[in-house]
Amino acid sequence: MMKYYNYAAGPSALFPEVVEQIKSELGNWANTHSSVFEISHRGTEFMAFAKEMENTFRELLKVPDDYAVLFLQGGGRGAFDAVPLNLPLKHNRALYLTSGHWSRQPALEAAKYIEVRTAELVDKDYQPTKLDWTQETQDVDYVHFTANETVEGIENFTVPKVSPGVLIVADMSSDILSRPINVSDYDVIYAGAQKNIGCSGVTVYVVRRSLLGHANKFCPAILNWQIYADSDSLFNTPATFSWYTCGLTFKHLKDTFGNLENLEQVNIRKVNKLYDYLDSQDFYVNKVNPAVRSRMNVSFNTPSAELDAKFVKEAQEAGLYYLKGHKVIGGLRASTYNAVSEEAVDALVQFMKLFADKYK
């Protein structure tokens, strides 16, 4: 029987075990005789689940007590506005470090509220530029960067060095919980769930508590971090099903891998199979410098756009889905998030070999 694999960039694959648990609990969650999305978010069962969800997330990421963990709606795009509208601003100015498509979008949004400067972390040839931005940040309030670029397949593993007192904000929508980080190196982390930790509809924020309560007077209540911290993220009706999938995923990560150190080793081994093959041949091309190659999204091209299209079509016929590259740059892309198995990577590499032999 043919096997099917999902390499979608987002919304993306969930762990099969999580999907099976959702199916088994669909009509009777927590002995409520209802599905999880049919009950009150303020009911005893759901509130207990929400607290466990937050605690497990904190344990996995090792979030210190002086950070709030918030669950909002609005996706990453909502965070593009929430960041400049919530942070305390002295200079009313920020530096946005860009490395691809998704780091340019928040800079455009923030420019509605504050002065925005931009600088490239990665140049047009996918080469890293520099990490020390001390000189450039002496008169800004915060620096924003995107940890993983899903379109180009670029991952920034190092926190930029900035001037003392300058806040660091990171969009980790597509690589959060894929590797350990030192949360204290950041002042704000945000992540849309739909890449690596659950279904779309919820955005996780990790915010230094001292930064709460500084929202601009024009900040909508729905984006105000202090309001969500005061209400255990239950200011409004949350996306309960999305919370549910996140909670199941957090528990699965803890039960299966124990910690993010173990999970990181799995992710490195898994994606290196694909990069090792790409580096060993001359039919496919990956343009990203090895120092910033993403572990979550691998972009590549065949010798022509026509062959790229053939690749997508024939891959799907072989049970390999969602390998078309993003519309911004075209080409091909395989996402290898936490829930994408090593078996899926092996299947992709095998197909790539057969396709190359057929058309080269």
pLDDT tens-place string over residues 168-224 = 999 999 999 999 999 999 999 999 999 999 999 999 999 999 999 999 999 999 999
How far apart, in whole angstroms, are the C-alpha atoms of residue 199 and residue 249?
10
Percent of the chain predicted with pLDDT > 70: 100
* pLDDT over threshold 90, residue 13: yes
| Domain final residue, candidates 257, 285, 306 | 257
Q: Does residue 65 form part of some domain?
A: yes
Query: Residue 293 contacts by C-beta under 8 Å, 6 or more apart in sequence?
Result: 153, 154, 155, 275, 286
**Residue 155 CB coordination number (10 Å):** 23
The answer to whether residues 187 and 219 belong to one domain is yes
Q: Token pair of 36, please?
A: 């999880």
The mean pLDDT value for 236-251 works out to: 97
Mean pLDDT of the chain: 97
Predicted confidence at residue 1, as pLDDT, reads 84
Q: What is the CATH number of the domain that holds 309?
A: 3.90.1150.10
Listed residues 224, 257, 290: the one ending a domain: 257
Cis previous bond, 88, omega within 30: no
Residues 216, 126 share a domain:
yes
Asked, for residue 351, whether it belongs to a domain, the answer is yes
Number of other CB atoms surrounding residue 340 within 10 Å: 24
Q: Find the domain containing 301 and state its range.
A: 259-359
The answer to whether 112 is a known catalytic residue is no
The yes-or-no answer on residue 195 being catalytic is yes
pLDDT-derived band at 336, boundaries 50, 70, 90? very high
Q: Which residue ranges make up the annotated binding site for pyridoxal 5'-phosphate?
A: 76-77, 102, 150, 171, 194, 236-237
Same domain, residue pair 157 and 169: yes
* Backbone dihedral angles phi then psi of residue 352, each to the nearest 5 degrees: -60, -40
- The two three-digit tokens of residue 141, written as one number: 């309030």
Same domain (yes/no): 291, 215: no
Separation CA 249–CA 113 (nearest Å): 36
Model confidence at 40, in pLDDT bands (50, 70, 90)?
A: very high
| Residues 278 and 338 placed together within one structural domain of the fold | yes
Is 4 part of a structural domain of the chain?
A: no
Q: Per the structure, how many domains does the chain have?
A: 2
Q: Is pLDDT at 10 greater than 90 in this prediction? A: yes
131 assigned to some structural domain: yes
Percentage of residues of the chain with pLDDT beyond 90: 96
317 in the same domain as 250: no
Whose CA is closest to 207, among 85, 44, 337?
A: 85
Q: Look up the pTM and report it.
A: 0.97
What CATH number is given to the structural domain containing 164? 3.40.640.10
What does the chain come to in residues? 360
Residue of 81, 141, 187, 195 with catalytic role: 195
Of 29, 81, 133, 171, which is the active-site residue?
Answer: 171
225 carries an active-site annotation: no
Asked whether residue 231 falls in the same domain as residue 186, the answer is yes
CB contact set of 358 (below 8 Å; sequence gap of 6+): none
> Residue 17's pLDDT is what?
98
Of the listed 29, 102, 225, 243, which one is catalytic?
A: 102
128-133, Cβ contacts within 8 angstroms, sequence gap of 24 or more: 128/289, 128/291, 128/292, 131/158, 131/160, 131/161, 132/160, 132/161, 133/95, 133/97, 133/160, 133/161, 133/162
Binding-site residues for L-glutamate: 42
Q: Is the pLDDT of residue 326 over 90?
A: yes
- Mark whether 293 and 240 lie in a shared domain: no
Same domain, 45 and 150: yes
Same domain (yes/no): 252, 354: no
Annotated binding site: 42, 76-77, 102, 150, 171, 194, 236-237
Q: Is the pLDDT of residue 128 over 90?
A: no
Rounded to whole angstroms, what are the CA distances from 128 to 97, 132, 168, 289?
12, 12, 19, 7
Which residues lie closer than 8 Å to 36 by C-beta, 6 or more apart? 25, 29, 30, 46, 240, 241, 244
pLDDT over threshold 90, residue 309: yes
Burial class from Cβ neighbours inside 10 Å (0-12, 13-18, 19+) for residue 348 reads buried
Asked whether residue 11 is assigned to any structural domain, the reply reads no
